[in-house]
Amino acid sequence: MLLKDRVALITGAGRGLGKATAVAMAGEGASVALLSRTRAELEETAALVEKAGGRALVLPADVTDEKAVREAAARTGAEMDGINIVVNCASIVGPAEPLHEVDPDQWNRTLAVNLTGVVRVCQETVPFMIRAGGGRIVNVTSGLAQIVMPMFGAYSVSKAGVNHLTRIMAEELRGYGIQVNGLDPGVMDTGMQEEIRRMGPSVLGKPLHDQFLSFKEGGHLKHPGEVARLAVFLASDHSVGITGEIGGAAEFRDYGYGLGDQY
């Protein structure tokens, strides 16, 4: 088992990639702390974690709530005897509007969840990793961090921030044996994609809406379980020495991901 006796705290664990990653890591021997806003979704994930042979801790919390995140990290450390892995999956798509028209509250909320939430979770969990002599942080990012797609500026800027903080934290934490990498999942068949399609052509414009429809109808959306295998790799000893890198399966294949299909 690749993650035997490890403890992973996963945000956004109630659905999509966070849920799939929790189950995949449990299947590799990890105990998993599940953090998101909706308890009912976390309970569903916990049942799947336990079915996979893992131990689950349900932690309803919003990553924008400093006190709740601190308490979730403290509870994880106390009840699961430390934290070795953090996967920052919590994310929202934010407003689909030109940046000059975005409501300030929507802008602030998008960055609070997608960017500041990552920093906050790391601030509360890194001390546990330092005490343990090392650890792994996997920050879920997006291709939109590096390309220009009008209408999704707030989301794109937040993920560009995640990319840069990943590189900075990788250098700052290198001496503690903590590896920090960014996982770009590509387009997945998740609730976020469904939310975007529901916006319709009246919000997105017909060309952009048609593009997102084509992802679904053309079978181009990845199953979250497929991407979760990469998260397992980045959290495991097979990724030793890899830090400050950002990419998907193709990029991490250069570092040994997928060899022998052991994930």
Residues that are catalytic:
155
Distance CA 5, CA 201 (A): 48
When computed from its CA atoms, the radius of gyration of the chain, rounded to whole angstroms, is 18
Helix (H, G, I), strand (E, B) or coil at 219: coil
Instruction: Single out the residue of 115, 18, 28 nearest to residue 63, CA to CA.
Output: 115
Query: What region does 34 belong to: left with phi over 0, alpha with psi -120 to 50, or beta?
Result: beta
* Strand 31-36 with 56-60, pairing: parallel
Residue 155 tokens read as 């989301």
Query: What region does 113 belong to: left with phi over 0, alpha with psi -120 to 50, or beta?
Result: alpha
Residue 27 tokens read as 């299947």
